Structure 1
Amino acid sequence: MSNTEFSSRRNQLLQSMQANSICLIPAADLVTRSRDTEYSFRQDSYFQYLCGFPEPQAWLVLSNRADFPNGLSVLFCLNKDPVAEIWHGRRYGPKQAKQDFQMDMTYVLDDLEEKLIELIDGHDNLYFAQGHNSAADEIVFSIMQSLRQAPKQSKLAPNNTLDVRSMLDEMRLIKSDAEINIMRQAANISVDAHKRAMQFSKAGINEYHLEAEIHHEFAMQGAKNPAYGTIVGGGNNACILHYTENNQVLNAGELVLIDAGCELQGYAADITRTFPVSGQFSEAQAALYQLVLDAQLAAFEWIKPENTIKQATDVAVKTITQGLLDLGILQGKLEENIEQQTYRQYFMHGLGHWLGLDVHDVGIYKIEGQDRPLKAGMVLTIEPGIYISPEANVEEKWKGIGIRIEDNLVVTKSGYENLTHGAPKTISHIETLMQTTLKDS
């Protein structure tokens, strides 16, 4: 992601803020894993979106005060420290950060509170995500209190504090060409990982073996981390929507559901595929699988500007409900089943969600109580599913089958682009791919 992209985002935010306003965005901090070790660092999504600086404990400050006609961007970061860098890795330090990230000013983190008092003083409005970062809250509250208690020093605290998240969420909802390009790369890596898992699958291995194949493919293509906890659910484990134990043996004759996507430069992919452990669908499995695929493809037809996710959901629900009636899993009339939502015992989640820097990305789904129209540049998942519990009151052949098919779609000016189309999902494509091993391909 270029500095031009980050600068453009900061300028857009500055122009959207009320006049004479200042905005504070803290970076993420390290999180303790156990005693003196930390989890792998992952930057705060809002901070990442506005500057791309990759280190913890930093702060971004933006001002549109009149004496900064082009806006002001200030970065606070850890100072260079040869000893600390031997132990924990290189730091940019303020001087290099100013140059590499094109900031107007940079300061060492140790000067944060003193400099923030100077920077905030005299602004009418403070934009800040209160409650998003409790440690940052304490710092901001302390500085505001200091400003309020210093009238004799001619210092003035902002009269208004506004939540910056609503503005940033709207900005993040519409992806730029640069963002979509990164997400396309993340999707391609994740597609390869799913194909690899299909080719590795066989009866007798463990769920975690497929998880390992997925993660290995991510890392080998430069995506060091998954975007979320990988789901590998064999048999009736697929009926647990957020199953992540991934520690059971895969059995012949069962399906396995894999929900996995990599994270690349902060952006998530999110793919689900369901396939037979041994490479061949049974008649019952194929019937339910085709029903889910039909519902997804029907929903795809509604993904275009000015349509809504609700319209796509209604089509998917109608398709699934009619299919469950045709298979004898539901009884009665279509309209009554939809009205009574009998399908929800088998399809109990939403059709999809926004996708971006967070796997469940920011952005409201309704505006003034009405379903939000889709716009070009939005990225979302479409993921219908059917999950039939082993305890369900249905024929034995349906019990314990869980199926979900999930793709990542970019809304275009005339329709959509399916970023994850390369992951096999027709029955014939899956079965054909699974006849070849990794060595053969």
Structure 2
Amino acid sequence: MGIDRSEYRQRRERFMEKIGSGTAIFRSAPTAVMHNDVEYIYRQDSDFFYLTGFNEPDAVAVIAPHHPEHRFILFVQPKDPALETWTGYRYGIEGAKAIFGADEAYSIAELDEKLPQYLEKADRIYYHLGRDRAFNEKILSHWQRLIATYPKRGMGPVAIEDTNLILHPMRQIKSPAELEMLRKATAISAAAHNRAREFAKIGHYEYQIQAEIEHTFRLEGGIGPAYPSIVASGANACILHYIENNRQLQDNDLLLIDAGCSYGYYNGDITRTFPVNGKFTSEQRTLYEIVLEAQLKAIEAVQPGKPYNDFHDTAVRVLVEGLMDLGLLVGDVEEIIKEEKYKPFYMHRTGHWLGLDVHDVGLYKCGEETWQILQPGHVLTVEPGLYIAPDIKPAEGQPEVPEKWRGIGIRIEDDVLVTADGREVLTAAVPKAIDEIEK
């Protein structure tokens, strides 16, 4: 869906250049049980998918650039017509080679027998020790056997290195094909948000809004939600990851919707906050204007060559100054920021990487003090907010929050591509200016 097989091959070639005489091993994601013997819809491990495009469980990919014949090997479930009647078609061993470009393929049952031939002449093993402890032990066991015979053979893997350190910087820079996938995911996400704003009205329940959003995701060809949809009315908007979505919308409520579509495993991530009855109250408008200004200025700070943290710092300063103007924070701006006395109102970062994972992979900092430098092809979210919970407890030395502000939660989030000369807001199709969202 959108990514040509040749691109997967190119990704593997680039990865092979980086591991030299090593051998890399990738494990597919496990199937997850929803309850008893009912499984969730399968979702492949993102690293595995990025290099192979293969979307079946119980598989292992081996990349061995030093091998004279087999540089890309897949271990997969073989064809089994009886089982496929129940669980769906498999590509099998021949499909792994003919469709996915494996130089060789085997049944997953042959892994222990066949894997050593791809490890014994490697100078190191590249493998990420993940959540699958049994498979971790399998790889460590193979390595220990090879280390034990190293003195006699004078060759073999002398270390295990984490694949993340090599692969994740590759994943951070999105290719043109990946950007098209992200544009599709964000376009569907935008359509769902616009539908939700049209549908929402007093008396509806949050879950009804959620249903309209997720109906749009599937109707437009998406896999479904990229993450559990947040549809938070009233004070629920002060809970960052609220997913119960069971409250009835009331007059004078704000409705915060944080929802994104997954399309071909690439993800949108949008948040909008708007008044259910079509008009902001005075307090809601005042806080919304602060968050919107913070978001717009933060987006302006997203530029190639600038440190990742700049747009967060920009947003924090606007939020702090806005809260000080309202008397909700007092003191020196620099001291408030340094001591994070704004945290009761704004407790999260202003964004994250976006791609195959919603919170996509890649470094944010290079060492203790140096932030990652933004580059063309980076995609990230920009999502400042203000959350004044009914029971908010101000930081030490800060004033109590008057009742009129309590119970208001606002977040505005867009997905932004870093370009050669600035940025492109991929989610601009969802209105956020007050005169656009007031009915």
Task: Please indicate, yes or no, whether the TM-score normalized by the shorter chain is above 0.5.
Answer: yes
Greater shift after overlay, 38-47 or 140-149?
140-149
Matched, 1:29 2:30: yes
The corresponding residue for 1:16 is 18
Deviations 1:48-79 (A, max 9, x none): 110110100111111121635xx711111110
Aligned partners of 1:6 and 1:52 also within 8 Å: yes
- Distance in 1, Cα, partners of 2:255 & 2:326: 22
Alignment correspondent of 1:386? 386
CA distance in 1, matches of 2:280, 2:227: 28
Question: 219-228 or 338-347, which moves further after superposition?
Answer: 338-347
- Between 174-183 and 327-336, the greater mean CA deviation after superposition: 327-336
Query: Which shows bigger deviation, 410-419 or 141-150?
Result: 141-150
Q: CA deviation at 1:150?
A: 6.3
Q: Is the 8 A contact 2:150 2:156 kept in 1?
A: no
Measure, in 2, the Cα distance between the counterparts of 1:238 and 1:115. Answer: 53
Matches of 2:427 and 2:267, distance apart in 1: 12
| SS of match in other structure, 2:278 | coil
Q: Secondary structure at the match of 1:371?
A: coil
Asked whether the equivalents of residues 147 and 157 of structure 2 are also in contact (C-alpha less than 8 Å), the reply is no
Per the TM alignment, residue 321 of structure 1 is displaced from its structure 2 partner at its CA by: 1.2
- Superposed, which structure 2 residues align to 1:392-411 within 5 Å? 392=392, 393-411=400-418
After TM superposition, give the deviation of residue 142 of structure 1 in Å. 3.2
Find the aligned partners of 2:403 and 2:150 in 1 and give their Cα distance: 77
For residue 90 of structure 2, what is the amino acid of its counterpart?
A: R
Structure 1 residues 336-357: Cα deviation after superposition (integer angstroms, max 9, x where no partner): 4333332221111111011111
SS at match of 2:354: coil
Alignment correspondent of 2:195: 196
Give the alignment of 1:114-129 within 5 angstroms: 114-129=113-128
Q: 5 Å matches for 1:3-402?
A: 3-17=5-19, 19-65=20-66, 67=68, 72-148=71-147, 157-369=156-368, 370-392=370-392, 393-402=400-409
Computed over aligned residues only, the root mean square deviation of the Cα atoms, in angstroms, reads: 1.8
Structure 1 residue runs of 5 or longer lacking an equivalent are 433-441
Matched AA of 1:223: G
1:431 equivalent in alignment to 2:438: yes
Comparing 307-316 with 403-412, greater Cα deviation is found at 307-316
Question: In the aligned structure 1, how far is the partner of 2:151 from the partner of 2:340?
Answer: 65
Greater displacement, 311-320 / 152-161 = 152-161
The whole-number CA distance in structure 2 between the counterparts of 1:175 and 1:384 is: 24
User: Counterparts of 1:148 and 1:417 in 2: how far apart (Å)?
Assistant: 50
Deviation at 1:311, TM superposition (A): 1.7
What corresponds to 2:422 in structure 1? Answer: 415
- Choose 168-177 or 152-161, whichever is displaced more: 152-161
The 1-side partners of 2:167 and 2:151 are apart by 36
> Structure 2: any 5+ residue segments left out of the alignment?
393-399
Task: Find the aligned partners of 1:340 and 1:141 in 2 and give their Cα distance.
Answer: 45
TM-score (norm 1): 0.93
Aligned twin of 1:438 = none
Change (3 A) 1:177 1:132: farther
- Distance, in Å, in 2 between the alignment partners of 1:76 and 1:267 is 25
Per-residue CA deviations over 1:306-333 (Å, capped at 9, x if unaligned) read 1123222222111111111222222234
The 2-side partners of 1:290 and 1:77 are apart by 54
Counterparts of 2:11 and 2:366 in 1: how far apart (Å)? 23
Retained in 2: the 8 A contact 1:121–1:155? no
Q: Deviations over 1:5-51 (max 9, x none)?
A: 1111111110011x321111111121122221111100001101101
Deviations 1:237-271 (A, max 9, x none): 11011111111111110101111101111111111
Deviation at 1:146, TM superposition (A): 4.3
Partner of 2:397: none
Aligned-residue identity in percent: 44
Contact 2:415–2:426 (CA under 8 A) maintained in structure 1: yes
Letter in 2 for 1:315: T
Q: Give SS of 2:204's match.
A: coil
1:395 partner letter? P
Q: Is the 8 A contact 1:78 1:91 kept in 2?
A: yes
Aligned counterparts of 2:172 and 2:402: Cα–Cα separation in 1: 44
Deviation per CA, 1:97-150, whole angstroms, max 9, x where unpaired? Answer: 211111211111121111112222222111111234323213212333444566
Q: 1:105 to 1:203 in 2, by over 3 A?
A: same
* Partner-residue secondary structure (3-state), 2:126: strand
For residues 337-387 of structure 1, the C-alpha deviation after alignment (integer angstroms, 9 at most, x for no partner) is 333332221111111011111111111111133111111100100000000
TM-score, normalised on structure 2? Answer: 0.94
- Stretch deviating more after TM superposition (423-432 or 131-140): 131-140
| Aligned-partner Cα distance in 1 for 2:232–2:257 | 6
Conserved in 2, the CA contact under 8 Å of 1:147 and 1:155?
Answer: no
Q: Is the 8 A contact 1:148 1:156 kept in 2?
A: no
Name the structure 2 match of 1:435: none
